[in-house]
């Protein structure tokens, strides 16, 4: 009897799928920002990380190009000169729960239906026989690649409109990432410079919960508007959580700050809400059972006579909190199969608790407290020299008969490659016992890089 019910359910889901042979709605430049493993992936996590930052270009003439980088120095690594596409609207729960045994909320999908673009190529290509791209919104899509879902954020409608800063045009949030920041991203100013090149970064010194040590947070602005705050974990080497207050941020469900509670959540969803305390006093913090790495901050409407439920339904979304959960990207489910089966929910691990008290401190009053770690000091200096070299190369590019733009693009690419080398090298040295602490290795190689860049900067100075 159970098999009959399951088959009927699966058939009903298939019937709900509608197809249209039309031009794909994914025309534009898309950048890989994060990933989620499913099943038993053929690609390693290390290889998946190397795909972050690669771009996909779909032109109106149906040419599909995969590149290693954006901008003028982009390298074409895979090209489909003439692609075919078929667009369908599919039930999100059926597509992910039945197809991949993973809840759509885990992927940051709250809507009932998703647009699936099935893409093929008339000649042999990296697309294989066909590949499906799921459009979560006009700005975000994903695709399964050898057992790993890669998330793509839209950068521009075409190459001519692509920003020269190589930064995303919008702040994009998924359960797995904020722009290109993922749970294992280092808590450094240099990391933030690369992930948010269009923002100004300010340091914020604070006391920890025990009020015995200084920790550093970062505030990111555009103009005079605060967009997000980034906080460290206890080891002070990785990102712990990020508060986002950018009204234009693209968040799961495609909702914007200012939306009401009743417009975001439905009675069919399992929601947990709690009254905020300390820094969140007077606010309500909510999260979905299947998406615990993102918490929604609501400001209840203060109207006399409203019941608590009515006040909550009319509460305004004023921000979100993203938690860095390393297990989320690598936690797998059973691989997609041809046969239907009972959906198996894979819940995200519980997110860490927001610190109850964070007190801003005047730097002049911190002398008697624990000093900041050497690596943090060095990384700060690294970011300073990096910016100084970029400014120097920009000035060079304004002079006649120079190769300034090429030099600047090459320097940015080289620094990104070095950051990846620093991370992977120190992690490897830790596994073989050459160093007993990641921070010691990071400090050593960062100091070497600073000395190298300072010499380069000196050579660029006039006179």
What's the average model confidence in pLDDT over 79-98?
85
pLDDT of residue 228: 94
- Integer Cα distance of 99 and 109 in angstroms: 15
pLDDT of residue 392: 83
What's the average model confidence in pLDDT over 133-152?
89
Reported confidence tier of residue 433, pLDDT bands at 50, 70, 90: low
Q: How far is CA 233 from CA 106, 204, 226, 238, 293, in A?
A: 23, 15, 22, 6, 15
The answer on pLDDT for 15 being more than 60 is: no
The answer on pLDDT for 1 being more than 50 is: no
Residue spans of the domains in the chain: they are 2-170, 177-326+348-363, 374-460
Q: Which residues pair with 287 in a beta bridge?
A: 272
Could you tell me the maximum CA-CA distance found in the chain, to the nearest angstrom? 86
pLDDT of residue 330: 60
The answer on pLDDT for 141 being more than 80 is: yes
What is the tens place of the pLDDT at every residue in 334-391?
Answer: 443 333 322 222 233 333 444 433 444 444 444 444 444 577 778 888 888 888 888 7
CA-wise closest residue to 344 among 332, 330, 356: 332
The percentage of residues in the chain with a pLDDT greater than 70, rounded to a whole number, is 73
What's the average model confidence in pLDDT over 200-207?
85
CATH H-level superfamily of 177-326+348-363: protein yfey like domain (2.60.460.10)
Distant-in-sequence, close-in-space partners of 414: CB < 8 Å, separation ≥ 6:
none
What is the tens place of the pLDDT at every residue in 439-458?
Answer: 778 888 889 999 999 998 88
Reported confidence tier of residue 14, pLDDT bands at 50, 70, 90: very low
- Integer Cα distance of 292 and 272 in angstroms: 10
pLDDT of residue 119: 87
């Amino acid at each position: 009897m159970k098999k009959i019910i399951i088959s009927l359910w699966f058939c009903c889901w298939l019937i709900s799928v509608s197809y249209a042979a039309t031009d794909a709605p994914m025309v534009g430049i898309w950048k890989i920002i994060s990933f989620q493993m499913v099943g038993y992936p053929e690609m390693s996590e290390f290889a998946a990380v190397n795909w972050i930052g690669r771009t996909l270009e779909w032109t109106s003439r149906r040419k599909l190009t995969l590149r290693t980088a954006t901008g003028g120095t982009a390298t074409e690594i895979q090209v489909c000169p003439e692609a075919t596409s078929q667009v369908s609207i599919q039930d999100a729960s059926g597509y992910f729960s039945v197809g991949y045994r993973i809840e759509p909320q885990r992927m940051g999908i709250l809507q009932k239906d998703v647009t699936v673009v099935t893409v093929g190529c008339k000649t042999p290509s990296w697309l294989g026989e066909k590949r499906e791209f799921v459009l979560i919104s006009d700005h975000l899509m994903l695709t399964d690649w050898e057992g790993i879902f890669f998330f793509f954020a839209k950068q521009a409608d075409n190459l001519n409109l692509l920003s020269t800063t190589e930064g995303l045009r919008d702040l994009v949030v998924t359960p797995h990432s904020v722009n290109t920041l993922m749970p294992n991203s280092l808590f450094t100013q240099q990391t933030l410079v690369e992930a948010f090149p269009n923002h100004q970064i300010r340091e914020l010194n604070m006391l920890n919960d025990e009020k015995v040590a200084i920790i550093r947070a970062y505030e990111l602005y555009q103009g005079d508007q605060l967009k997000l705050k980034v906080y460290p974990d206890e080891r002070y080497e990785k990102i712990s959580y990020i508060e986002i207050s950018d009204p234009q941020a693209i968040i799961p469900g495609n909702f914007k700050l200012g939306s009401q509670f009743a417009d975001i959540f439905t009675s069919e969803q399992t929601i947990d809400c709690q009254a905020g305390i300390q820094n969140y006093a007077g606010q309500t913090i909510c999260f979905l059972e299947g998406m615990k790495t993102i918490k929604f901050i609501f400001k209840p409407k203060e109207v006399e006579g409203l019941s608590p439920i009515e006040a909550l339904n009319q509460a305004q979304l004023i921000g979100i909190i993203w938690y860095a959960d390393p297990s989320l990207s690598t936690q797998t489910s059973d691989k997609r199969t041809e046969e239907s089966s009972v959906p198996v929910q894979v819940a995200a691990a519980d997110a860490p608790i927001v610190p109850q008290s964070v007190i801003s401190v005047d730097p002049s009053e911190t002398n008697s407290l624990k000093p900041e770690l050497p690596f943090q000091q060095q990384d700060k200096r690294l970011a300073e020299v990096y910016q100084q070299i970029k400014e120097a190369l920009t000035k060079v590019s304004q002079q006649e008969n120079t190769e300034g733009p090429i030099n600047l693009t090459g320097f940015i690419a080289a620094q990104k490659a070095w950051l990846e080398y620093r991370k992977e090298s120190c992690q490897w040295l830790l596994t073989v016992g050459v160093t007993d602490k990641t921070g010691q290795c990071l400090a050593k190689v960062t100091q070497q890089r600073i000395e190298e860049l300072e010499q380069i900067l000196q050579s660029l100075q006039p006179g």
